[in-house]
Amino acid sequence: MDLSGNIIWITGASSGIGRALAMECARQGATLMLTARRVEALEATRSACERSEDHRCMIHDVTAHETHAAVFNSILDTWGRLDMVILNAGIGQRGSVQETDPEVERRIMEINYFGCTEVVHTVLPHFLERNDGYFVVTSSVMGTLSTPRRATYAASKHALHGFFEGLRAELYQTRIGLTLLCAGYIRTDISFHSVRGDGEGYGAMDDQHCTAMPASTFARRAVKAISLRKPMVFIGGPERFAPLLQRLSPGLVRWLLPRMVTRD
């Protein structure tokens, strides 16, 4: 699949993986609608993209349900169609189950899960009408396993896998495609913006993220996987092999994870 000429909506495009994906998609010739909550950061992303004048930015909070249609209608008004949506907006977690307030758990699910599925409900009729379109979901290695102090984050990614694999099965007779991007440790500020158990920001960079794969490398590999219409791809360092090891020896992984993962 050639991205050149595609109209792509990217959520969470203001920084990190979203920004890197925007820059790579633009390099491949796509035209972008970039959305997030921070207008200055969005404009910085747009300016960093090739053909910056061709792209658009809109303020969009994935938990504000009424704003999904506004972005989608703006895309149709501007370009007449949408070819792909990259569901990238999300939030991390740094807190044990015992110390995490249930309201914080709901907030994580609202952003990471419903913030994706509700956009799907907005654009799916358009894709079905055209019998064409593509969903890309930024998930995580923790969509298949979990680690200490990340239980709700992992649960939100597990939920995404359940939803989108079900959607994939429903769309098997259509030309609509779907790729799950399962990220390992990527050099972004996700840990800095993660939430503690009380809902306050974590405000620090994990060692794993400071030395991890650059977001630009992730984006290149991700866009290649999308171009090949891969249903799922694991991108990162050695941690990307953890799901395979879990399938081969689940008991070993259950023993290893608490001992290998840094506790905050």
Give me the catalytic one of 153, 172, 185, 202. 153
Return d(Cα 165, Cα 232) in angstroms, integer. Answer: 10
Q: Is 153 a catalytic residue?
A: yes
Return d(Cα 49, Cα 46) in angstroms, integer. Answer: 5
Report how far apart the first and last C-alpha atoms of the chain are (Å, whole number). Answer: 42
Return d(Cα 185, Cα 237) in angstroms, integer. Answer: 7
Q: Which pair of structure tokens corresponds to residue 74?
A: 């703006």
Q: List the catalytic residues.
A: 153
